[in-house]
């Protein structure tokens, strides 16, 4: 080139990166949704795939940790949405709506789960309980080549999902569909089989290299029983089991349901559907009256309470039942009284009732849903003491009693079982990436968009048809696209556009900083919408 | 065949023949007729060029800078205030080594404002790095413009053709305008290796620092010195092809054989000087004259050769460096001194602001020089001493 | 030539000597990559010219020329005339700072527009003569501290208001003039593309924050530009043949303090009584802009939310090497 002109692009010989004292780093973070999901789903990842219309890939990513999305999309209490950073911007992403859409789509399309490993293991594992914990554990083991047999005392699988949750919240066909897809991995299911009766605990230990006890907590807490028989007084668990088993129950005109949890609400709404006038007697206060303080407020999910009221269930808050009132064998009602304190000095649930506040509530049936315990009958040999190779999870393990937690515990148990069987450290992958809060999000880059909801039937019809419809494809796409992708790059190109020094290089599927030229201004980090970029002081 | 043409018209014809594709100018007396004629040529389709009526001379010079950088031949003209206004750009064009030709219709520089001819304008920009040629006649203007494009494009230097305002621009003389085919043969199409072109991107006009600027300037100076040879060669080639001209290349001597007193001058003044030399030689005075055709580069070697046998020299110039004296006289004295020559040099300033340099005045200058009086560092011809404002005046 | 990035040309590539966080480097990088290397770039003297062609190196990967401070528009006129005379349609682009546009360059700019040259003139406005050390220009807003309008015992900074250059340019009744800034890349992109689709003189006024001269954190250059718009102090408008043809509506109006407090060049307004009055004045100027252009209620193509929305997989960006046009 003539000395009277300068070579184009020759400044690349000058490494302006020497100037900086801080450098940007692309770092994936763990968003709050994934942090709070009891099943530890990589929610951001499958929402991203869904927003790209990669539905099957999204379903596969989701089912890595949760093989029951159609179920969970309907029944999970979705703590992910409470922690969703989008809630600080406008409203949380309707994660459960998209989850349900993916689960329903998988059922419609007949998608099959894939094995992780083609190797066939020989050590057999027994899972006691075909509920969400047991199914999740069996799923994770079977994908990795382990022969699994699930035992369940009931005639149909699903545990509380089947026996406790009514059809209008979770259609049996949906539950059965997802269970069948799990079983299709080659899992053996033995129904109507109770350990200690149909098969002994010792046989279990002989024939199986490991045992997972996921028997749930289906033993109802003791309620007043004055000896007159179960047709006028029963537990919520029993009531729901019979309804879900398809028994045609004939109810008296008035029914009282005692309890404040989801079992109580489910029982109350089922009783309404069977034609009764229903009053729910709950010792706690309504939602929101104590700023969300657990224990003081009714624990049942607010959605369910709202729908119960819309369906005509009367709610009596801060009220307890002192005794049953009979005329002869016939139950004429319950005696209620106002609750003084809900918890005693030791913090146990132990409502104290005010004298002089008694009232008579007429009812021909009193359903008590005041808590459940684990029924260990038949399993004592395995747990007293807990033998090596015996693992416990789900509601039976004394953790928060949510279906999602059960699913999560099934995964953890499977990893522990494999570690036990192989003598290697557990492969349980606990995400240890940094958290990302709303302070790391740049709201300027996310215009407000209304949240999509599944359509609720306009006027509550008192049948067992599903109350809330699922998303159509457009809604699922729109909602998945509302995800802020907290802490995880979604290739918005901001850093690539803004770098004044062209020191951000675009590659397929992401970006890289060319540290030869990066002056460390920090604009990339400041303008990354999702907090993916960290600035670190340069080492001297 | 010769036609009687106004000087400006002749210049416009010459420019047209050189096929510039971009012309930009801002009107200033006495350049206006040049650009008006060019505008008419363009309007009549006789010249296929964009004629850009710029918003100022600064703009006009910038437009032609861009045009040449963009790879086309271009032309502009100015004078006086306008030339000074474009000074920053003149330096820039030269520093970028862009081949451009312009005409300076020499005019005095205000204040006081004066529209008539002297050389103050082009002399003021003598350091800008342009080749500067001074023509004596309208024919020489025509021929020199055509030569100028060859010089500029061969040397990658801009060339300023200086012609006296009014005396040449507005005077009708018989001029031979060449045929287009002949000019095309002399002047091939413009090719510029550093033209701005996406196919061969380059950066022109980038920053320069102490460690490289000196080399640029040295290179420019060397190119200017070498341009002198090209100026001479083009004059020879032109006269060979066109059968006329041959203006001496860098300098044009007149009756130097046996001349003891030699007048050095530039531009159209030479016409009257020739007549006076003829008359004085007929009277037996050993006088002669030398016209500087090329002032930049300053042809020191040729000048000293031509003046080798002169006993005394008088410079008659139409510009002054106030507080120092004559510009040409100063450079001439330096050249003589450098060559070890010691002939006295009379520095005479005349003709400023269009004041006529009549044969009588010129004769008086010759006689005074030839009389052997002490040579003046700087004196004014035809000065009305009583009318000179003094600083003590209230 | 530097080919590190397969997805854009890097017409203005790395290794230049701009300050860390330079808004002008960012803006020029964006604009020239949107236009691509098949164009002639004519640069006025100023920061951009200095930091890209220092020490016998050049950051430009396209044909580029710098002449003097005031004449970029005139040089571009000449380049354009030359190209069009040869029948070539190569775009001609001017790049100048506010100095080379509002003040010393105004005459040549006016001439270029008035004569109808087919040139796109881009002004990167950092609101002072930054290259020479932060002296005021007629683009410097009211009450700003510069080295030639310093606040002192009897002064609150620059007395005059920011020159309304876009109106002056538009008053030439020219085809297209628009304001834009780095914070709203999709808007800038749309305006560059629109300008490039039109023949004749076109003008883009791009607000380009300067961390040094505006005295803010280098990482805040985009944030500051965004606030300039969202306060109403820098309206995003388009003018065609003298009339306003489009605005970007403000999704919300932020008080000017939010913008002023990030920048040391306004610091003096928060330390005395006289400063408070100037802050009110600046707020009134912002409110006037909003009323004048209907920035809060205009029926427009998009608003500041939509113009900055981050999208998955970007918005399609620049002309990529080997590909025609922007993807």
Distance CA B362, CA B377 (A): 18
Contact at CB, C57 and A500, closer than 8 angstroms: no
Q: Which helix (H) or strand (E) holds A55?
A: helix A55-63
Number of C-beta neighbours around residue A4 at 10 A: 18
Contact at CB, B96 and A7, closer than 8 angstroms: no
What pLDDT, on a 0 to 100 scale, did the predictor assign at position C3?
85
Distance CA A172, CA C238 (A): 60
A2 touches C at CB < 8 Å: no
- If one compares C3 and B76, the residue with the highest pLDDT of the two is B76
Confidence class for position C325, pLDDT limits 50, 70, 90:
very low
Contacts of A5 in chain B (CB under 8 A): 194, 202-204
CB A196 within 8 A of CB A211: no
Q: Is the pLDDT of residue B65 over 50?
A: yes
Confidence class for position A540, pLDDT limits 50, 70, 90:
low
Distance CA A276, CA A231 (A): 15
Contact at CB, C84 and B50, closer than 8 angstroms: yes
Smallest Cβ distance to A11: which of C13, C217, C310?
Answer: C13
Judged by CB atoms within 8 Å, which residues 170-199 of B form the interface with A? 193-194
Distance CA B149, CA A46 (A): 71
Q: Is the pLDDT of residue B74 over 90?
A: yes
Condensed to tens digits (0 to 9), the pLDDT of residues A315-333 reads: 999 999 888 898 888 899 9
DSSP secondary structure, C131-199, as one string: TTTSB--TTSPTT--BTTB--BTTB-S--SPPP-HHHHHHTT--SEEEEEETT-HHHHHHHHHHHHTS-
Q: Which of A1, A2, A3, A4 to mutate to test the interface with B (most CBs of B within 10 A)?
A: A4
Contact at CB, C64 and B203, closer than 8 angstroms: yes
Q: Which domain holds residue A328?
A: 227-373
How many CA atoms lie within 13 Å of B240's alpha carbon, on the beta-carbon side?
Answer: 9
Q: List the chains bordering chain B where 3 or more Cβ pairs fall under 8 Å.
A: A, C
Q: Is the pLDDT of residue C326 over 50?
A: no
Smallest Cβ distance to C78: which of B53, B63, B207?
Answer: B63
CB A56 within 8 A of CB A415: no
Domain positions in chain C are 23-308
What pLDDT, on a 0 to 100 scale, did the predictor assign at position A493?
94
Three-state SS letters, A166-201: CCCCCCHHHHHHHHHHHHCCCCEEECCCCECCCECH
Q: Which of B94, B203, B209, B212 to mutate to test the interface with A (most CBs of A within 10 A)?
A: B203
| DSSP for residue B317 | E
CB C222 within 8 A of CB C278: no
Condensed to tens digits (0 to 9), the pLDDT of residues C31-66 reads: 999 999 999 999 999 999 999 999 999 999 999 999
Are residues A252 and A292 located together in one domain of the fold?
A: yes
Contacts of B55 in chain C (CB under 8 A): 74, 107-108, 110-111, 114
Q: Please state whether beta strands A210-213 and A125-128 pair in parallel, antiparallel, or not at all (unpaired).
A: parallel
Smallest Cβ distance to C78: which of B64, B200, B203?
Answer: B64
What pLDDT, on a 0 to 100 scale, did the predictor assign at position C315?
65
Contact at CB, C78 and B92, closer than 8 angstroms: no
A512 touches C at CB < 8 Å: no
The encoded tokens of residue B199 equal: 């196919």
What pLDDT, on a 0 to 100 scale, did the predictor assign at position A429?
77
Percent of chain C with pLDDT over 90: 87
- Shortest distance between the Cα of A12 and any Cα of chain B, in A, equals 15
Q: Is the pLDDT of residue B138 over 60?
A: yes
Contact at CB, A7 and B203, closer than 8 angstroms: yes
User: How far, CA to CA in Å, does C326 sit from each of A410, A506, C7?
Assistant: 50, 15, 10
Number of C-beta neighbours around residue A426 at 10 A: 15
CB A331 within 8 A of CB A324: yes
Distance CA C77, CA C92 (A): 9
Q: What are A's interface residues with B at a Cβ cutoff of 8 A?
A: 1-8
C252 touches A at CB < 8 Å: no
Longest CA span, chain C = 63
Q: Identify whether A352 is preceded by a cis peptide bond (ω within 30 of 0).
A: no
∠ at Cα C38 (C32, C44), nearest 5°? 50
Mean pLDDT of A523-532: 97
Mean pLDDT of B224-245: 96
Q: Which residues of B246-263 are buried (b: 16+ CB within 10 A; e: fewer)?
A: ebbbbbbbbbbeebbbbb
Are residues A313 and A239 located together in one domain of the fold?
A: yes
Residues 6+ apart with CB under 8 A from A420: A210, A388, A389, A391
* Main-chain phi, psi angles of C289, to 5 degrees: -60, -45
Three-state SS letters, B210-236: HHHHHHHHHHHHHHHHHHHHHHHHHHH
Residues 6+ apart with CB under 8 A from B228: B250, B294, B297, B299, B302
Are residues A467 and A501 located together in one domain of the fold?
A: no
Is A222 part of any domain?
no
- Shortest distance between the Cα of B212 and any Cα of chain A, in A, equals 11
Condensed to tens digits (0 to 9), the pLDDT of residues C188-215 reads: 999 999 999 999 999 999 999 999 999 9
What's the first-to-final CA gap in chain C, in angstroms?
Answer: 22
Distance CA C212, CA A187 (A): 68
Three-state DSSP at C307 gives helix
Domain B2-242: CATH superfamily is Thiamin diphosphate (ThDP)-binding fold, Pyr/PP domains (3.40.50.970)
Q: Which of C49, C79, C95, C319 to mutate to test the interface with B (most CBs of B within 10 A)?
A: C79
H-state helical runs in A274-402: 302-310, 380-383
Long-range contacts made by residues C275-278, C-beta under 8 angstroms, separation at least 24? C275/C143, C275/C156, C278/C142, C278/C143, C278/C156, C278/C157
What's the first-to-final CA gap in chain B, in angstroms?
Answer: 59
- Residue A219 pairs in a beta bridge with A373
| DSSP for residue C128 | S
Mean pLDDT of A505-513: 91
* Main-chain phi, psi angles of A150, to 5 degrees: -100, 130
Are residues A259 and A330 located together in one domain of the fold?
A: yes
Q: How many domains does chain A have?
A: 4
Distance CA C280, CA C163 (A): 19
What pLDDT, on a 0 to 100 scale, did the predictor assign at position B394?
59
CB B160 within 8 A of CB B102: yes
A306 touches C at CB < 8 Å: no
Smallest Cβ distance to B59: which of C43, C86, C108?
Answer: C108
Q: Which of A502, A506, A514, A515 to mutate to test the interface with C (most CBs of C within 10 A)?
A: A502
Is A47 part of any domain?
yes
Contacts of A527 in chain C (CB under 8 A): 222-223
What pLDDT, on a 0 to 100 scale, did the predictor assign at position A458?
67
Question: What is the dotted CATH code of the domain comprising C23-308?
Answer: 3.40.50.970
Is A428 part of any domain?
no
Q: Which residues of C25-43 are buried (b: 16+ CB within 10 A; e: fewer)?
A: bbbbbbbbbbbbbbbbbbb
What pLDDT, on a 0 to 100 scale, did the predictor assign at position B376?
85
Q: Is the pLDDT of residue A150 over 50?
A: yes
Give the helix, strand, coil percentages of chain B, each rounded to 5. 40, 20, 40
Is A8 part of any domain?
no
CB C195 within 8 A of CB C239: no
CB A117 within 8 A of CB A143: yes
Longest CA span, chain B = 68
The encoded tokens of residue B358 equal: 């009549």
Contact at CB, C58 and A9, closer than 8 angstroms: yes
| DSSP for residue C38 | S
A72 touches C at CB < 8 Å: no
Number of C-beta neighbours around residue A85 at 10 A: 26
Are residues A399 and A442 located together in one domain of the fold?
A: no
- Shortest distance between the Cα of B119 and any Cα of chain C, in A, equals 26
Q: Which residues of A292-327 are buried (b: 16+ CB within 10 A; e: fewer)?
A: eeeeebbbbbeebbebbeebebebbbbbbbeebbee
* Mean pLDDT of the residues in chain A: 92
What pLDDT, on a 0 to 100 scale, did the predictor assign at position A228?
65
Put simply, whether the predicted model's pTM sits higher than 0.80 gets the answer yes
Question: What is the dotted CATH code of the domain comprising B251-387?
Answer: 3.40.50.920
Q: Is the pLDDT of residue C13 over 80?
A: yes
Are residues A292 and A154 located together in one domain of the fold?
A: no
The encoded tokens of residue C181 equal: 């800034």
What pLDDT, on a 0 to 100 scale, did the predictor assign at position C322?
65
Is A120 part of any domain?
no
The encoded tokens of residue A171 equal: 């259609």
Distance CA A142, CA A144 (A): 5
Q: Is the pLDDT of residue A537 over 60?
A: yes
Domain positions in chain B are 2-242, 251-387
Distance CA C140, CA C213 (A): 11
Mean pLDDT of B46-75: 98
Is A10 part of any domain?
no
Q: Identify whether A142 is preceded by a cis peptide bond (ω within 30 of 0).
A: no
Residue of C nearest to B53 (CA): C115
Contacts of A6 in chain C (CB under 8 A): 53, 56-58
- If one compares C302 and C9, the residue with the highest pLDDT of the two is C9
* Main-chain phi, psi angles of A394, to 5 degrees: 75, -160
Distance CA B145, CA A371 (A): 109
Contacts of B202 in chain A (CB under 8 A): 1-2, 5-8
Q: Is the pLDDT of residue C74 over 70?
A: yes
Contact at CB, A7 and B202, closer than 8 angstroms: yes
CB C21 within 8 A of CB C1: no
Contact at CB, C313 and A491, closer than 8 angstroms: yes
Condensed to tens digits (0 to 9), the pLDDT of residues B78-137 reads: 999 999 999 999 999 999 999 999 999 999 999 999 999 999 999 999 999 999 999 999
Mean pLDDT of A147-160: 96
Query: CATH no. for residue A453?
Result: 1.10.1060.10
Smallest Cβ distance to A9: which of C61, C218, C310?
Answer: C61
Radius of gyration of chain B (CA): 21
Radius of gyration of chain C (CA): 19
What pLDDT, on a 0 to 100 scale, did the predictor assign at position A459?
65
Most confident of A220-234, A238-252, B322-336: B322-336
Query: CATH no. for residue A282?
Result: 3.50.50.60
DSSP secondary structure, B256-302, as one string: -TT-SEEEEE-TTHHHHHHHHHHHHHHTT--EEEEEESEEES--HHH
Confidence class for position C327, pLDDT limits 50, 70, 90:
very low
Distance CA C110, CA C174 (A): 10
Contact at CB, B206 and A1, closer than 8 angstroms: no
Residue of B nearest to A8 (CA): B202
């Amino acid at each position: 080139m003539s000395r009277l002109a300068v070579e184009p692009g020759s400044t690349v010989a000058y490494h302006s990166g020497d100037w900086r004292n801080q450098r940007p780093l692309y770092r994936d973070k763990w968003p709050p949704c994934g942090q709070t999901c009891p099943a530890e789903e990589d929610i951001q990842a499958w929402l991203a795939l869904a927003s790209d219309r990669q539905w099957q890939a999204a379903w596969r990513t989701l089912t890595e940790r949760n093989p029951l999305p159609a179920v969970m999309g309907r029944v999970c209490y979705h703590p992910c949405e409470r922690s969703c950073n989008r809630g600080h911007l406008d409203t949380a992403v309707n994660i459960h709506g998209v989850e349900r859409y993916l689960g329903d789509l998988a059922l419609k399309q007949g998608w099959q789960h894939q094995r992780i490993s083609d190797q066939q293991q020989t050590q057999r594992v027994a899972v006691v309980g075909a509920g969400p914990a047991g199914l999740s554990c069996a799923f994770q083991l079977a994908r990795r080549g382990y022969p699994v047999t699930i035992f369940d005392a009931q005639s149909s699988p699903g545990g509380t999902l089947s026996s406790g949750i009514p059809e209008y919240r979770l259609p049996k066909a949906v539950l059965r569909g997802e269970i069948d897809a799990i079983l299709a991995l080659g899992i053996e299911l033995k129904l109507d089989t109770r350990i200690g009766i149909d098969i002994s605990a010792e046989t279990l230990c002989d024939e199986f290299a490991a045992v997972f006890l996921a028997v749930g907590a289906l033993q109802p807490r003791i309620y007043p029983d004055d000896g007159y028989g179960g047709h006028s007084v029963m537990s919520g668990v029993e009531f729901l089991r019979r309804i879900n088993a398809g028994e045609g129950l004939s109810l008296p005109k008035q029914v009282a349901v005692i309890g404040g949890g989801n079992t109580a609400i489910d029982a109350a709404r089922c009783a309404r559907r069977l034609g009764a006038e229903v009053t729910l007697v709950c010792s706690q206060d309504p939602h929101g009256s104590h700023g969300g303080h657990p224990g003081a407020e009714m624990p049942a999910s607010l959605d369910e309470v709202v729908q119960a009221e819309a369906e005509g269930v009367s709610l009596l808050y801060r009220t307890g039942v002192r005794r049953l009132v009979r005329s002869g064998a016939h139950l004429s009602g319950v005696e209620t009284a106002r609750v003084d304190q809900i918890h005693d000095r030791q913090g146990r649930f132990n409502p104290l009732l005010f004298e002089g506040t008694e009232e008579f509530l007429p009812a021909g049936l009193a359903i008590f849903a005041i808590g459940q315990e684990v029924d260990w009958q038949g399993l004592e040999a395995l747990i007293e003491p807990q033998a090596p190779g015996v693992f416990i999870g789900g509601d039976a393990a004394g953790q928060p009693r949510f279906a999602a937690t059960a699913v999560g515990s099934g995964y953890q148990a499977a990893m522990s079982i494999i570690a036990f069987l192989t003598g290697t450290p557990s492969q349980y992958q606990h995400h240890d990436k940094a958290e990302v809060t709303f302070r790391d999000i740049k709201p300027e880059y996310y215009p407000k968009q209304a949240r999509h909801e599944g359509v609720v039937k306009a006027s509550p019809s008192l049948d067992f048809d599903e109350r809330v419809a699922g998303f159509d494809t457009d809604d699922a796409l729109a909602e998945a696209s509302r995800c802020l992708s907290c802490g995880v790059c979604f290739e918005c190109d901001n850093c690539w556009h803004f770098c004044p020094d062209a020191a951000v290089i675009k590659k397929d599927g992401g970006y890289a900083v060319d540290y030869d030229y990066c002056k460390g201004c920090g604009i990339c980090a400041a303008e990354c919408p999702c907090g993916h970029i960290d600035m670190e002081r340069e080492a001297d | 065949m010769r036609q009687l043409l106004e000087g400006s018209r002749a210049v416009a014809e010459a420019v047209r023949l050189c096929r510039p594709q971009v012309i930009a100018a801002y009107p200033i007396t006495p350049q206006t007729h040049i650009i008006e004629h060019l505008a008419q040529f363009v309007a009549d389709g006789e010249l296929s060029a964009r004629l850009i009526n710029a918003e100022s001379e600064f703009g006009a010079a910038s437009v032609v800078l861009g045009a040449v950088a963009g790879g086309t031949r271009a032309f502009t003209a100015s004078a006086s205030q306008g030339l000074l206004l474009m000074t920053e750009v003149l330096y820039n064009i030269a520093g970028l080594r862009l081949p451009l030709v312009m005409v300076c219709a020499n005019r005095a520089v205000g204040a006081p404002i004066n529209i008539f001819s002297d050389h103050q304008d082009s002399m003021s920009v003598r350091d800008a790095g342009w080749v500067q040629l001074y023509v004596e006649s309208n024919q020489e203007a025509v021929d020199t413009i055509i030569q100028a494009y060859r010089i500029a494009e061969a040397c990658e230097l801009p060339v300023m053709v200086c012609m006296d305002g009014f005396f040449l621009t507005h005077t009708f003389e018989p001029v031979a305008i060449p045929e287009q085919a002949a000019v095309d043969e002399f002047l091939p199409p413009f090719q510029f290796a550093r033209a701005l072109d996406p196919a061969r991107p380059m950066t022109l006009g980038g920053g320069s620092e102490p460690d490289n600027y000196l080399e640029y300037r040295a290179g420019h100076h060397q190119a200017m010195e070498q341009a002198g040879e090209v100026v001479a060669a083009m004059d020879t080639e032109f006269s060979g092809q066109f059968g006329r001209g041959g203006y001496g290349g860098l300098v044009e001597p007149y009756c130097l054989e046996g001349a003891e007193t030699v007048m050095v001058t530039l531009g159209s003044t030479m016409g009257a000087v020739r007549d006076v030399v003829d008359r004085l030689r007929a009277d037996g005075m050993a006088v002669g004259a030398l016209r500087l055709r090329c002032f930049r580069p300053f042809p020191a070697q040729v000048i000293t050769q031509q003046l080798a046998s002169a006993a005394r020299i008088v410079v008659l110039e139409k510009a002054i460096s106030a507080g120092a004296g004559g510009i040409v006289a100063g450079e001439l004295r330096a050249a003589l001194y450098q060559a070890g020559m010691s002939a006295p040099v009379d520095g005479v300033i005349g003709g400023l602001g269009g004041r006529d340099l009549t044969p009588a005045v010129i004769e008086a200058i010759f006689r005074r020089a030839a009389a052997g009086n002490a040579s003046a560092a700087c004196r004014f011809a035809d000065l009305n001493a009583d009318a000179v404002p003094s600083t003590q005046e209230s | 030539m530097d080919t590190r990035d397969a997805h854009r040309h890097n017409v203005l590539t790395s290794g230049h000597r701009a300050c860390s966080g330079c808004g002008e480097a960012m803006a020029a990088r964006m604009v020239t990559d949107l236009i691509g290397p098949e164009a002639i770039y004519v640069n006025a003297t100023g920061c951009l010219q200095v930091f890209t062609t220092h020490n016998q190196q050049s950051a430009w990967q396209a044909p580029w020329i710098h002449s003097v401070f005031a004449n970029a528009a005139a040089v571009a006129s000449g380049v354009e005339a030359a190209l069009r005379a040869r029948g070539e349609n190569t775009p001609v682009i001017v790049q100048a700072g506010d100095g080379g546009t509002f003040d010393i360059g105004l005459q040549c700019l006016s001439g270029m527009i008035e004569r109808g040259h087919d040139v796109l003139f881009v002004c990167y406005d950092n609101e002072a003569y930054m290259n020479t050390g932060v002296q005021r220009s007629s683009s410097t807003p009211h009450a700003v501290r510069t080295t030639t309008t310093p606040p002192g015992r009897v002064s609150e900074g620059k007395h005059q208001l920011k020159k309304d250059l876009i109106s002056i340019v538009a008053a030439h009744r020219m085809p297209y003039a628009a304001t834009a800034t780095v914070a709203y890349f999709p808007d800038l992109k749309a305006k560059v593309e629109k300008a490039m689709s039109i023949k004749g003189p076109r003008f883009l006024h791009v607000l380009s924050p300067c961390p040094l001269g505006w005295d803010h954190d280098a990482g805040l250059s985009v944030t500051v530009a965004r606030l300039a718009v969202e306060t109403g102090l820098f309206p995003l408008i388009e003018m065609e043949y003298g009339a306003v043809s489009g605005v970007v509506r403000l999704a919300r109006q932020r008080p000017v303090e939010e913008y002023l407090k990030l920048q040391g060049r306004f610091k003096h307004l928060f330390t005395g009584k006289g400063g408070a009055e100037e802050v009110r004045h600046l707020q009134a100027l912002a409110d006037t802009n909003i009323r004048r252009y209907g920035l809060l209620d205009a029926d427009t193509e998009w608003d500041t939310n939509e113009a900055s929305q981050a999208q998955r997989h970007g918005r399609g960006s620049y002309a990529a090497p080997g590909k025609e046009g922007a993807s």
